[in-house]
Structure 1
Amino acid sequence: MARTARGAIMAMDSAADLDERNRGADVAVTASYIGVLPARLAMEYAPRAVIGFDGGVGPEGVGIAGLWYYEALNVPAAAVDVMTIILGDGIDAYHNGRISFANRPARDCGVDIGMPAHEAAMLMLENDPATPGAYGVTNRTIVEDGPDGRKVIVTDSIVFGTDEDRRNVLVTAGHTGRSGARHIETVGPFGFICSDGGMGRNNSGIAGLPITNELGIAGATVDARTARLGDGMSTYRDGTISAANDLALACGVTVGMPAREAAHYLVNRKAV
């Protein structure tokens, strides 16, 4: 579909159509769903980047699960909305597909949701993703300003907290078990919202709540069924509070409350 000094954009009806000619240089725009199986087939030939369709996402996100397979390999990948394309027709996917999901390496290249597939493919051909270490992808975002210089900070894990967060409320996406509480204690935020991790046996996913309460840190958890583990913005946008310690309850946090509302109460809690 296009060629530059860096490689080509190749439209293909199936991820199984990649071959040795595509290795390391080409962007493959396929009319396969972008799950793990097609990702394995495509990565046999290590293309520069891949676009597939989202398959309606499906149970457990299987239709787009390959995005994270590719992300772990730092390969840009994106999905187009299946309703914008003709299945099995790679050229149609290239011309008419609209991006519905993109992984972090693809976003590094400039790919965004709603973008035409042909534009996304060119961005992935002409740009390289960043190569951050494991602790370099934090997705740290300020979502609310509170009193006395406090802020609500969203990040993907409590381990990404910094010294400045001793005055902030952290919204993260790891569990709040015993090890989670240890990391919360190390960071020492003004308040926190994490995940209950699915609760676990003996409610071990929220075992950190009484521990942090004793430390004077107000905190709560969201139901892991409502927000994606490892995705702090999902905790903030999608999460529903499943449990809270006494300090958080005292400042107005309640079970069933949206996480963003709970974060507002926590950041406005009076310092003691």
Structure 2
Amino acid sequence: MPDPAGPLLADSVTKLGPEAAGRVVVSGSHGGVYAAALACRSGCRAVILHDAGVGLGEAGIGGLGWLEAEGMAAASVDHASAAIGQAGEMLAQGRISHANAQARACGVRPGMSCTEAARRLEAAPLHDGACPEVSEAREVLRPTGARRALVLVDSASLVRAEDAGQVVVTGSHGAVFGDDPRNALKADAFLALFNDAGGGTGTGRLAALEARGVAAATVAAKSARIGEARSTWQDGIVSAANAPARALGAQCGAPARALIDRALRAPARPGVT
């Protein structure tokens, strides 16, 4: 029976609670494995995520195959049709780019509107059984000669207050989810890096962090696996940078690792630890 309330909207899949049980969820999160696992654990019926430009190793849609193996329907919205981190926009104007076997069995196809796909996914069978645990990594490294720590977090949700003044490298997209600029980062890092999720709105955190005096940059989705901080660090190519990051030497087209190394060794900026 169709859900009279329509799909449940969640700008970030990390915010799903018990209200998701049995519902079709449209989430602004990228379609990586960890986001898919969170959707699975929420007990939702099916999920539509953002394809984040698909990117290196198709990491932006990696969760669709993971959910297919678990027997749960999932699809992704084309990054060119709607902004990442904005579930309402995805539902209103998004177009489907990929669908797993269970979603295709419900009639979901590439090019279909997100609204129609969500309606069809109401017929998807509920996932039966427990979801495997998928954990995101958080590492704190102290390279030789560095003035500050290198904090590697697969998701910006893993940033802590104690990370203020450190170099924070994330696997998260660079958009501000929802409409609150305070969501850009939980701590005022010395430098923060994100994935641009295919460009466009995937760089919105940079301006929000610049207003807080935080240097921030994104790496191109095609250069690094979204959802993996180590890939941002080791593989990423800078695609956009705010003014404080440019003052640190950030250059579009240059390896992110070079920028990170400079930030680790740079003297403190006035008013910044």
User: So what's the TM-score if we normalise by structure 2?
Assistant: 0.48
> Larger relative CO (CA 8 A, sep 6+): 1 or 2?
2
Q: Comparing both structures, which one devotes a greater share of its residues to helix?
A: 1
Task: State which structure, 1 or 2, has the greater radius of gyration over its C-alpha atoms.
Answer: 1
